[in-house]
């Protein structure tokens, strides 16, 4: 189980997304996993042509520090970093998350598909940015009043997270500081349900929902 998860939204140079996906699916999955990272999923953002989104998990913060050092100082990143960085404009939009409840994270036993598979399904990630620090009352509020609304609308929540407040222990890669977020991942089938005004008033902005299409080798995928 990943107790720490990064939600990474990269803005790429125009037209470079397919190049990065093909490089990423080929070179950066098993190589990161060998270092102790769990590459949970990687996606095209269906609404932003040059946005690549991926999820990376770790057993805990200590593992994160060690695993990232091992990967970014290792031979695979060294061999391909120029090609990867050449596709990117911005890779700093990163949210550091923890499962909102002990069992709320991704626990994927799925085998990673081989190269050449077709991409499958669409899932959503909804990011709620709160004005206040996320503590138990907010988690309980989401659990009791928001997740049931999603379910009633036909969504299946796959996992949900809140901000991990531990400080970034691999500062070479920035994360968004001073964020207070709750993020849920869902298999959306119907229209998004209206959310209560009281809930919305506790947010900095209207929740942002990303529609994510898994790349061919994404471990996280949804069946059609």
List residues near another protein by CB under 8 A: 99, 101, 103-107, 140, 143-145, 147-149, 152-154, 157-160, 187, 189-190, 193, 223-224
Q: Which two tokens stand for residue 22?
A: 């093909």
Closest CB to another protein among residues 20, 40:
40
Q: How far is the CB of 107 from another protein (least distance, A)?
A: 8
Residue found under tokens 């669409």:
122
Q: How far is the CB of 184 from another protein (least distance, A)?
A: 8
Closest CB to another protein among residues 58, 106:
106
- For residue 195, give every residue at least 6 positions away whose Cβ sits within 8 Å of its Cβ, in sequence order, or none: 146, 149, 207
Closest CB to another protein among residues 23, 119:
119
Instruction: Please tell me the distance from the alpha carbon of residue 13 to that of residue 11, in angstroms, as a whole number.
Output: 7
Closest CB to another protein among residues 79, 140:
140
Instruction: Please tell me the distance from the alpha carbon of residue 200 to that of residue 171, in angstroms, as a whole number.
Output: 32
The phi and psi torsions of 146 (rounded to 5 degrees) equal -105, -50
Check the CA dihedral 13-16-21-24 and report its sign. Answer: negative
Residues 3/52, Cβ–Cβ less than 8 Å: no
Q: How far is the CB of 42 from another protein (least distance, A)?
A: 19
Q: Which helix (H) or strand (E) holds 124?
A: strand 123-129
Instruction: Please tell me the distance from the alpha carbon of residue 105 to that of residue 107, in angstroms, as a whole number.
Output: 6
Closest CB to another protein among residues 140, 173:
140
Q: How far is the CB of 57 from another protein (least distance, A)?
A: 13
Q: How far is the CB of 111 from another protein (least distance, A)?
A: 18
């Amino acid at each position: 189980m990943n107790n720490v998860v990064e939600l990474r939204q990269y803005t790429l140079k125009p037209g470079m997304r397919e190049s990065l996906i093909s490089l990423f699916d080929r070179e950066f999955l098993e190589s990161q996993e060998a270092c102790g990272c769990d590459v949970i999923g990687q996606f095209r953002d269906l609404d932003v042509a040059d946005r690549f989104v991926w999820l990376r998990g770790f057993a805990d913060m200590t593992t994160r520090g060690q695993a990232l050092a091992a990967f970014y100082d290792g031979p695979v990143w060294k061999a391909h970093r120029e090609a990867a960085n050449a596709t990117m404009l911005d890779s700093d939009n990163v949210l550091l998350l923890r499962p909102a409840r002990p069992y709320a994270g991704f626990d994927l036993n799925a085998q990673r598909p081989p190269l050449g598979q077709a991409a499958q399904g669409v899932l959503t990630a909804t990011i709620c940015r709160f004005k206040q620090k996320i503590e138990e009352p907010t988690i309980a509020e989401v659990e009791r009043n928001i997740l049931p609304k999603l379910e009633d609308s036909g969504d299946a929540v796959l996992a949900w997270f809140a901000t991990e407040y531990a400080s970034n222990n691999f500062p070479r890669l920035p994360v968004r500081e001073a964020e207070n977020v709750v993020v849920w991942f869902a298999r959306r089938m119907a229209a998004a349900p209206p959310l209560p005004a009281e809930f919305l008033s506790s947010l900095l902005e209207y929740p942002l929902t990303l529609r994510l299409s898994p790349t061919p080798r994404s471990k996280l995928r949804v069946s059609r």
